Amino acid sequence: MKSFMLASLPLLILWFGATYQISWPHTLVLLSLLTLVPFFVNLWVVPGGFAWRNYYQNPKKLRNLSGPMGWPFLGSLPIMGSHAHRKLAAMATVLGANRLMALSLGATRVIISSHPETAKEILCGTSFSDRPIKESARLLMFERAMGFAPAGNYWRYLRRIAATNMFSPRRISSLEGLRQRIANGMVVGVMNEMDERGFVEVRGILHNGALRNVVESVFGSGLGLGEELGLMVAEGYELIGEFNWADYFPLGFLDFYGVKRRCHKLAAKVNDLVGQIIKERTRSGEFSGGNDFLSALLSLPKEDQLSEPDMVAVLWEMIFRGTDTVAILLEWIMARMVLHQDIQAKAQKEIDTCLGSQRHVHDSDIPNLPYLQAIVKEVLRLHPPGPLLSWSRLAVHDVHVDNLFIPAGTTAMVNMWAITHDPSIWKDPWVFKPERFIEEGDGFSMMSGSDLRLAPFGSGRRVCPGKALGLATVELWLARLLQQFKWLPAGSDHQPVDLSECLRLSLEMKKPLACRAVRKYGSLIA
DSSP 524: P
Q: Considering the complex, state which of residue 50 and residue 391 has its C-beta at the smaller distance from ligand HEM.
A: 391
The residue at minimum Cβ distance from ligand HEM is 458
Residue 410 in contact with residue 104, Cβ under 8 Å?
A: no
- 395 burial class (0-12, 13-18, 19+ CB within 10 angstroms)? buried
Closest distance to ligand HEM from the beta carbon of 221 (Å): 17
The answer to whether 131 and 393 are in contact (CB under 8 A) is yes
Cα-to-chain-centroid distance, residue 49? 26
Task: Give the three-class secondary structure for 412.
Answer: strand
- Angstrom distance (rounded) from CA 6 to CA 94: 25
**170: phi then psi, degrees, rounded to nearest 5:** -65, -45
Closest distance of CB 368 from ligand HEM, Å: 22
Nearer to ligand HEM, 380 or 517 (CB): 380
- What stretches of 20-66 show up as alpha helix (H) in DSSP? 24-34, 37-44, 59-62
Q: Cβ of 210: how many Cβ atoms within 10 Å?
A: 27
- Contact assessment for residue 193 and residue 516, using Cβ atoms and an 8 Å cutoff: no
Of residues 108 and 213, the one with the C-beta less far from ligand HEM: 213
Q: Of 246, 240, 237, whose CA–CA distance to 77 is shortest?
A: 246
Q: Between residues 422 and 475, which has the closer beta carbon with respect to ligand HEM?
A: 475
* Least distance to ligand HEM, CB of residue 349, Å: 26
Cα dihedral: 435, 439, 442, 445 (round 10): -60
CA-nearest of 423, 463, 488 to 124 is: 463
- Smallest distance, ligand HEM to C-beta of residue 136, A: 16
Q: Which is nearer to ligand HEM, 100 or 122 (CB)?
A: 122
Reduced to 3 states (helix: H, G, I; strand: E, B; else coil), residue 487 is strand
Nearer to ligand HEM, 159 or 377 (CB): 159
Output 146 or 366, the one with its CB closest to ligand HEM: 146
Rounded CA separation 211/319 (Å): 7
User: What minimum distance in Å lies between the beta carbon of 432 and ligand HEM?
Assistant: 18
Minimum CB separation of residue 449 from ligand HEM in Å reads 8
Q: Do 333 and 382 meet the contact criterion of CB atoms below 8 Å apart?
A: no
Phi, then psi, of 430 in degrees rounded to 5: -90, -10
Nearer to ligand HEM by C-beta: 106 or 386?
Answer: 386
Judged by the rule CB under 6 A, the positions of this chain that interact with ligand HEM are 123, 146-147, 159, 214, 317-318, 321-322, 325-326, 329, 385-386, 389, 391, 456-460, 462-466, 469-470, 474
Indicate the residue among 52 and 142 with the shorter CB distance to ligand HEM.
142
Q: Quick check: 481 and 334 in contact, CB under 8 A?
A: yes
Closer residue to ligand HEM, CB minimum distance, 69 or 508: 508
**Residues whose CB is less than 8 angstroms from the CB of residue 466 and which lie 6 or more positions away in sequence, other chains included:** 167, 321, 322, 325
Instruction: Map residue 406 onto helix, strand or coil.
Output: strand
Number of Cα atoms under 13 Å in the Cβ half of residue 392: 20
Nearest to 345 by CA among 365, 368, 371: 371
Strands of 278-365, DSSP E: none
- Taking alpha carbons only, the member of 126, 114, 134, 117 closest to residue 384 is 114
Q: Please say whether the beta carbons of 458 and 160 come within 8 A.
A: no
Whether 464 has a binding-site annotation, put simply, is yes
Count of positions (residues) in the chain: 526
Work out how close the CB of 130 gets to ligand HEM at its nearest, in angstroms, rounded to a whole number. 9
Collapse the DSSP code of 18 into the 3-class scheme (helix H, G, I; strand E, B; otherwise coil) and give the result: helix
Minimal distance, residue 505 CB to ligand HEM, in Å: 11
Of residues 209 and 322, the one with the C-beta less far from ligand HEM = 322
In the complex, least distance from residue 322 CB atom to ligand HEM, rounded to whole angstroms:
3
Q: Residue 8 and residue 81: Cα distance in Å, rounded?
A: 34
- Mark the binding-site residues for heme, compressed into ranges: 464
Annotated binding site: 464
